[in-house]
Amino acid sequence: MNMKKSILFVLYFLIPAIMFAQVAITDSVEIKNYLNQQLTGDKNINTGFKYQNLYYIDSWCMGDVVFSTGDFIKQIPLRYDCLNNQLVWLNVKVGQVKLDNQNISEFSLYDAGLSYRFRKTKINNSDVYCELLFENKIKLFAQRKIIIGSTVYELDAIYLCYKRIPVYIFEIKGKTYFCKKPKIKSLIETFPQAKEQIKQLIKQKHLKCKSENDFIEIIKNCEEILNNIV
């Protein structure tokens, strides 16, 4: 009983002493404010056209921006213009700002509880933001490419209608492979040397490819096969 009391007695003094030792150091030893990396860009100019489905997510949503130095800015209103490969920031003071792509390496958009991560990727010697769908030994990106489908003339405006044609990009051991559609047939066309192995695996695991999410699931399962054939 006395032993217990002695231990308690020691603990009474030790716990506050340990806690007090941490007071001297704080997490505020660095200044994170306007002195750090800033978002730069041009004020967005309205060209007079009206757009339909120009953006990856049509409404403004909160997002994070990562600079090529590793610095980041969190929780700012963003929108990704898929046609012009342009990230747009809604600045409360000046309005829409087309951000300089040169400094940005990555950004994320948060919408309806989901997050979409875009990373700058080299495609045909130009930097394009591609959505990162899967990352492990191999990386799967989706270039959210859109093209002008039709032009609608109305009394008060000209509407440009767009057509979404995503391109899927595999990055395996530093090499890039393109897949046109999220289909098994396209996957086999991209990796003809793994045709049998992919077919066998899909059969074994009873996988179906009806949507983009199913396609990602298949890629996750085929990761080892794809990594080994390259």
Partner 1 sequence: MYKNFYLLVSLLFLCQFALQSSAQDVNLSSKKINEKFKNFSCPEKVYIHTDRDFYIAGENMFFKSYISGFTSDEKQIQSNIIYLVLRDEKSNIETLITYLKNGSSSGHIYLPDTLKTGKYELVAFTNFMRNFDESCYFKKNFLIVNRFDKTLPTLQFNDTLNIEQSANLVTNKKTNVGALEIILIKDSFKTRENIKIGLKLKTEGKTAAIANLSVTVKEANFLFDNNFDIVNLLNENKNSVIDIKKKKTNDTIIDFYPLERNGIYLRGKIKDKTNQQIKNECLVLSSPDSIANFQYTFSDAVGNFQFLVNNYYLGKEVYIKPLHNQISNPDRSISIEDKFTLKESLNPAFKVLPKYFYNYITYSQQIVYIQKSYPDSNAVNNREWTFDKIIIPRAYFSPYLNYNTKDYIQLNDFNDIVTNIIMRTKLEKVKNTNELFVFDPNAKEYRTTPAIIFVDGVPIDNADKILSFSSDDVDKIALCLNSRILGNLELNGLVSINTKKNKLSSIVFNSPVIKYKLDRIADNSVFKPTNYSTTKIPKYAPDFRQLLYWNPNVSINNNETANVDFFASDCVSDYVVEVKGILTDGTPICAYAKIKVYR
Dihedral pair phi/psi, residue 24, rounded to 5° = -60, -35
Q: Does 91 bind partner 1 (CB under 8 A)?
A: yes
By the rule CB under 8 A, 176 interacts with partner 1: no
Structure tokens at 81: 């213009």
Comparison of 14 and 165: residue with beta carbon closer to partner 1: 14
Q: Of 3, 4, 24, 113, which one interacts with partner 1 (CB under 8 A)?
A: 24
Residue among 33 and 124 whose Cβ is closer to partner 1: 33
**Strand spans (E) along 54-197:** 61-67, 72-81, 86-91, 95-99, 104-111, 114-123, 126-135, 139-143, 146-153, 158-164, 167-172, 175-179
Count Cα neighbours of 42 within 13 Å in the Cβ-side half-sphere: 6
Candidates 62, 74, 84, 100; binder of partner 1 (CB under 8 A) is: 100
Candidates 41, 63, 166, 182: give the one binding partner 1 (CB under 8 A): 41
Comparing CA positions, the residue from 93, 65, 94, 60 lying closest to residue 77 is: 60
Residues 51-80 that bind partner 1 (CB under 8 A): 67-71
Establish if 3 lies at the interface with partner 1 (CB under 8 A).
no
Q: What number of other Cβ atoms are within 10 A of residue 138's Cβ?
A: 20
Write down the least CB distance from residue 20 to partner 1, Å.
6
**Letter string b/e over residues 92-129, b meaning 16 or more CB atoms within 10 A of that residue's CB:** eeeebbbbebebbbbbbbeeeeeebbbbbbebeeeebb
Q: Assess 114 for contact with partner 1 (CB under 8 A).
A: no
Question: Residue 44 CB, nearest distance to partner 1 (Å)?
Answer: 9
d(CA 168, CA 14): 59
Choose one: 14-22, 131-139, 180-188, 222-230; the region binding partner 1 (CB under 8 A).
14-22
- Tell me: does residue 227 bind partner 1 (CB under 8 A): no
Specify the residue, 104 or 140, whose C-beta has the smaller distance to partner 1.
104
* Residues β-bridged to residue 158: 153
In the complex with partner 1, the residue whose CB is nearer, 26 or 124, is 26
SS3 225: helix
**In angstroms, rounded to a whole number, what is the distance separating the alpha carbons of residues 208 and 182?**
11
Pick 8 or 112: Cβ nearer partner 1 = 8
Task: State which of residues 3, 4, 19, 124 lies at the interface with partner 1 (CB under 8 A).
Answer: 19
Distance CA 211, CA 87 (A): 26
Binding site residues, partner 1, CB under 8 A: 5, 8-9, 12-13, 15-16, 19-20, 22-31, 34-43, 45-46, 67-71, 91, 93-94, 97, 100, 102-103
